[in-house]
Structure 1
Amino acid sequence: MRRVLRGLVAGAAATLAVTAVPATTTAQERHEPKAPPQFVALRDVDPTILQEMRYRTRHNFTGERIDGYRQPLCVVTRDTAAALRRAQRTFLRQGYSLKVYDCYRPQRAVDHFVRWAKDLDDQRMKAEFYPRVDKTRLFDDGYIAAKSGHSRGSTVDLTLVRLPVLPTRPYHPGEPLKPCYGPQRDRFPDNSLDMGTGFDCFDTLSHTLDPRVVGAQRANRLLLKNGLEKAGFRNLPEEWWHYTYQPETFPDTYFDFPVTRHALRPGR
């Protein structure tokens, strides 16, 4: 266990070194809203949890970097971070690590999603993320909304990775896209366990307990679900990757500070 922890911490530290915040700040950063003191960088609480922050990249359902994600950083409330740390300790003993895809999400990012969903001509990522859903249905079917629980700071999108962690390749914009619900060998490569669909797959197969998902895929979803529920999280039934820590620190507040270390209070 100690060897595993050292390896995971070393990998996280290397990533942190690459994404360190410059000593100077811009005028824009000085005038941006700041996070309340209850928010922390997950890496400061548990550096062993893997982070693949998809909305900081172009590999998401819009095909572009999302507004507000200034750094590839998981930010959550302190209570949520502590709960993730508890869950991670349990998963590590079983030979797995948590990997987060998204954490706190600024309201400006949600607004970006809404603008994209209204632009019916932009279908560049349809073949991967919503091949069986007409884009005109994204609001009515609940895939896109004007508000997100992520903006309150207690919701995370995450998966499990088997140890030792295998590398995965980056997304290359313009590469051929494969349906997110296809067999794992045909989907975009991800080092996570096979959950039956990729992350952010707009399809009913993403429903956590969809009866068509059986065997190892269902077992993997239940492994994630049971471990997180024991740590105090509640799953969104329509998305196997979506969990909210209960009780939420800010159950009624939607924040809009950017995802950057500069937005966090010193010492957080």
Structure 2
Amino acid sequence: MTNELPAGFIYVSDVVLDIIEDIKYYSSDNFLGVRVEGYESPRAVSTISAAKALQKATSQLKKDGYSLKIFDAYRPKRAVDHFLRWVNDLEDTKTKAIFYPDIKKDQLIKNGYIGPNSRHSSGSAFDVTLVNRMTGQELDMGTVFDFFGQKSHHGTHLITSEQTQNRHILKRAMVENGFQAIKEEWWHYQLEDEPYPLTAFNFIVK
């Protein structure tokens, strides 16, 4: 049974039928090390327009032998608030070795990795990676999802040529189908013509 969503929103898998969902903030496999507030189901939610654009990107990638995997989509404002509480708890560093080995936790806000607002909360942004359709394996992008550091940036020279090429394949498909990249995160794409750019929704993902 599908839970009712606000007008203009949809479960991504209802539009992108072969999408792979690995919603990191529903699990403890994320930089907080715990399930994040606002995620009561491991399902990706987005605006209808964003999901339709993602379907186009998925169809393009499928021709080249790739699938898309979603790590995050719509993100409730209460989840962003959870991030802020975490980053201000300087005693909690259990995930440092994996997600921010080269930066002090008290520098994450200053360096722009954590902030009070997220484009995800307007419902038209996705965190994604590529999967080889033949092997089922994720492509090597050079870092884990949500790695805080220069290695996550587009154009970095700290990764291999193969990792750079994998990022380019993902970026090309997303940009050609209406999404914008941001410099700091190889996984993040937001719809250029999003319907609610000034709204931070707070409904729970169920």
Q: What TM bracket, shorter-length normalisation?
A: over 0.9
Is there any run of 5+ residues in structure 1 with no aligned partner, and where? 1-19, 23-33, 167-190, 261-268
Is residue 157 of structure 2 the alignment partner of residue 157 of structure 1?
A: no
1:247 aligned partner: 193
One-letter identity of the residue aligned with 1:48: D
2:104 aligned partner: 134
Percent identity reads: 42
2:171 aligned partner: 225
Q: TM-score, normalised by structure 1?
A: 0.75
**Structure 2 CA distance for partners of 1:83 and 1:165, relative to 1, 3 Å:** farther
The structure 2 residue matched to 1:40, chosen from 4, 7, 10, is 10
One-letter identity of the residue aligned with 2:26: R
- Return the alpha-carbon distance in structure 1 between the equivalents of residues 160 and 173 of structure 2: 19
Is residue 62 of structure 2 the alignment partner of residue 62 of structure 1?
A: no
**How far has the Cα of 1:244 moved from its partner?**
0.2
- Return the alpha-carbon distance in structure 2 between the equivalents of residues 213 and 237 of structure 1: 15
Is residue 61 of structure 2 the alignment partner of residue 91 of structure 1?
A: yes
Q: TM-score, normalised by structure 2?
A: 0.96
Is residue 52 of structure 2 the alignment partner of residue 82 of structure 1?
A: yes
1:106 aligned partner: 76
The structure 2 residue matched to 1:195, chosen from 122, 127, 141, is 141
Runs of 4+ in 1 over 4 A off after TM superposition: none
The structure 2 residue matched to 1:256, chosen from 193, 202, 206, is 202
- Return the alpha-carbon distance in structure 2 between the equivalents of residues 100 and 223 of structure 1: 16
1:208 aligned partner: 154
**How far has the Cα of 1:250 moved from its partner?**
0.3
One-letter identity of the residue aligned with 2:140: D
**Structure 2 CA distance for partners of 1:82 and 1:165, relative to 1, 3 Å:** farther
- Return the alpha-carbon distance in structure 2 between the equivalents of residues 192 and 105 of structure 1: 23
**How far has the Cα of 1:54 moved from its partner?**
0.4
- Return the alpha-carbon distance in structure 2 between the equivalents of residues 110 and 155 of structure 1: 14
- Return the alpha-carbon distance in structure 1 between the equivalents of residues 61 and 166 of structure 2: 12
CA RMSD of aligned residues (A): 1.3
**How far has the Cα of 1:214 moved from its partner?**
3.6
State which structure, 1 or 2, has the greater radius of gyration over its C-alpha atoms. 1
- Return the alpha-carbon distance in structure 2 between the equivalents of residues 212 and 139 of structure 1: 23
- Return the alpha-carbon distance in structure 1 between the equivalents of residues 102 and 162 of structure 2: 24
